[in-house]
Homo-oligomer: A and B are copies of this chain.
Amino acid sequence: MYPRLIFLENISRRVGSLLHPLTKPHSFSISQLSLSSKPLTTFSLLRHFTPESPLMDSAEISLRKALADKQAAVDAQANTVRELKGSAAADKAAINAAVEGLKGLKLEKAAIEEELQEIVKSNGGESKEAFRQGVINTLERKLFYVPSFKIYGGVAGLYDYGPPGCAVKQNVLAFWRQHFVMQENMLEVDCPCVTPEVVLKASGHVDKFTDLMVKDEKTGTCYRADHLIKDFCKEKLEKDLSLSAEKVAELKHVLAMLDDFSSEEMGSKIKEYGITAPDTKNPLSDPYPFNLMFQTSIGPSGVSPGFMRPETAQGIFVNFKDLYYYNGNKLPFAAAQIGQAFRNEISPRQGLLRVREFTLAEIEHFVDPQDKSHRKFPEVANLEFLMFPRELQVSGQSAKKMVLGEAVSKGTINNETLGYFIGRVYIFLTSLGIDKERLRFRQHLANEMAHYAADCWDAEIECSYGWIECVGIADRSAYDLRAHMDKSGVALVAHEKYAEPKEVEKIIITPVKKELGLAFKGNQKMVVEALEAMDEKEAMEMKANLESKGEVEFNVCTLGKNVTITNKMVTIKKEKKKEHQRVFTPSVIEPSFGIGRIIYCLYEHSFYTRQSKGGDEQLNVFRFPPLVAPIKCTVFPLVQNQQYEEVAAQIVKSLAAAGISHKIDTTGTSIGKRYARTDELGVPFAITVDSENSVTVRERDSKQQIRVNVNEVSSVIKEVTDGQSTWADVQWRYPSHSSASADE
Contact = CB atoms under 8 A, between A and B. Distances in A.
A299 B290 CA distance: 10
Interface stretch (A62-70, A71-79, A166-174): A166-174
A321 interface: yes
B160 A188 contact: no
A676 to B, nearest CB: 15
B190 A169 contact: yes
Contact of A152 (B150, B297, B318, B344): B318
Interface string A166-194: 11011000000110001101011111111
A511 interface: no
Counted per complex, copies of this chain come to 2
B222 A192 contact: no
A152 B299 CA distance: 17
A262 interface: no
A589 interface: no
Interface stretch (A141-149, A380-388, A427-435, A524-532): A141-149
A294 interface: yes
A298 B154 CA distance: 12
Q: Chain A, interface size: which category?
A: 35 or more
Contact of A299 (B163, B298, B342, B346): B346
Contacts of A321: 151
Given A151-B318, A160-B191, A663-B185, A296 B295 contact: yes
B148 A356 contact: no
B152 A198 contact: yes
At the interface, is chain A mostly helix, strand, loop or mixed? mixed
B196 A152 contact: yes
A151 B156 CA distance: 36
A170 B177 contact: yes
Given A170-B177, A659-B182, A160 B192 contact: yes
B149 A196 contact: yes
A663 B221 CA distance: 56
A199 B158 CA distance: 14
Interface in A641-673: 656, 659, 661, 663, 667
A563 interface: no
B661 A199 contact: no
Given A222-B301, A296-B295, A298-B356, A193 B196 contact: no
A213 interface: yes
A346 B300 contact: yes
B222 A300 contact: yes
Contacts of A213: 300
B187 A163 contact: yes
A304 B195 CA distance: 22
Contacts of A357: 192-194
Given A182-B659, A297-B295, A344-B298, A194 B318 contact: no
6 contacts: A146-B319, A148-B191, A149-B195, A152-B199, A299-B346, A300-B344
Ranked nearest first, the 7 interchain pairs of A and B with the lowest CB-CB distance are A161-B190, A151-B488, A151-B490, A222-B300, A163-B187, A192-B357, A160-B191
